[in-house]
Amino acid sequence: MEIKQIKNIIEAALLAAGEPVTIKRLQSLFIEQELTHNDIAKALEDLIFDFKDRGIELVEVANGFRLQTKTILQPWISKLWEEKPKKYTRALLETLALIAYRQPVTRGEIEDVRGVAVSSYIIRTLMDREWIRVLGYRDVPGKPAMFGTTKEFLDYFSLKSLQDLPTLAEIKDIETIMPELDLEQKPNDDAFQKQFKNNNEQE
């Protein structure tokens, strides 16, 4: 089978799936052709290059590969929807950021950093979006739940892993909690801040 046909099949599969797809799952489409993991990886690499100057891009996130519109085009794409997108509160975003950077973390520990109570609505909203989950329970009186992020959180913000998170100190929207986190510098700060802001405005 020619590489062009393989790429066309993979592109169609990614569009049809509507969600991230792993290399293993893509490989299952070519059982009769006996394509290897490396064959699929090479086709994906070629597709990433093919979409370089297009309005869509192929990205790898926590749950696999997916096709998506480019972030820089969102000001135009968003006009397709008449209703204004939902915006999340500063408190919700601060809570999400704290969970992402300090996980596993309890509700009480989040409140200690922010200096205010975390409402049940915020935790419920984050769990409903499947951005956070209970990782376990702290071995202290009361056994408070410890929260952490999910693969869905990584997918939403186009991250492959938590190692791709930027430095929290560079995210201006939550600069009030900078002194408490003592994080090392990481790359892609501006990119994450822009992605965080854009996705917040779109949803």
Q: Which domain holds residue 113?
A: 90-202
CA distances from 193 to 115, 188, 196 (A): 23, 9, 5
180 and 113 in a common domain? yes
Same domain? For 20 and 101 the reply is no
| Residue 42 to residue 174: CA distance in whole angstroms | 40
Residue 141 falls inside a structural domain: yes
Say if 164 falls within a structural domain: yes
Q: Mean pLDDT, the chain, as a whole number? A: 83
Asked if residue 164 and residue 97 are part of one domain, the reply reads yes
pLDDT at residue 201, rounded to an integer: 45
**Helix or strand (DSSP H, E) at 137:** strand 132-137
pLDDT computed for residue 192 by the predictor: 45
Please report, for the chain, how many H helices and E strands are present, in that order: 10, 5
81 assigned to some structural domain: no
pTM assigned to the model: 0.65
- Of the chain, the end-to-end C-alpha distance in Å amounts to 41
Last residue of a domain, one of 40, 69, 98: 69
Query: Which of 69, 102, 120 finishes a domain?
Result: 69
Which pLDDT belongs to residue 74?
Answer: 85
| Whether 10 and 59 share a structural domain | yes
User: How would residue 200 be classed by pLDDT, with cut points 50, 70 and 90?
Assistant: very low
Domain boundary among 69, 98, 113: 69
pLDDT, tens digit (0-9, with 9 covering 90-100), for 83-124: 665 678 889 988 999 999 999 999 999 999 988 999 999 999
Q: Write the DSSP string, 60-102.
A: EETTEEEEEE-GGGHHHHGGG-SSPPP---HHHHHHHHHHHHH
Q: Residue 184 falls within a domain, yes or no?
A: yes
Residue-wise pLDDT tens digits, 113-159: 988 999 999 999 999 999 999 999 999 999 999 999 999 999 988 89
Structural contact between residues 7 and 46, judged by C-beta atoms closer than 8 angstroms: yes
Based on the fold, state whether residues 19 and 110 are members of the same structural domain: no
pLDDT band, very low/low/confident/very high, at 37 (cuts 50, 70, 90): very high
One domain for residues 193 and 96: yes
Residue 17 is assigned to a structural domain of this protein: yes
**Same-domain check for residues 170 and 96:** yes
105 and 180 both lie in a single domain: yes
| Same domain flag for 95 and 189 | yes
**83 domain residue, yes or no:** no
Whether residue 29 is contained in a domain is answered as yes
Measured at the CA of 14, the angle between CA 13 and CA 17, to 5 degrees, comes to 80
Give me the percent of the chain exceeding a pLDDT of 70. Answer: 80
CATH number of the domain that residue 130 is part of? 1.10.10.10
Same domain flag for 188 and 112: yes
The total number of structural domains in the chain stands at 2
27 occurs within a structural domain: yes
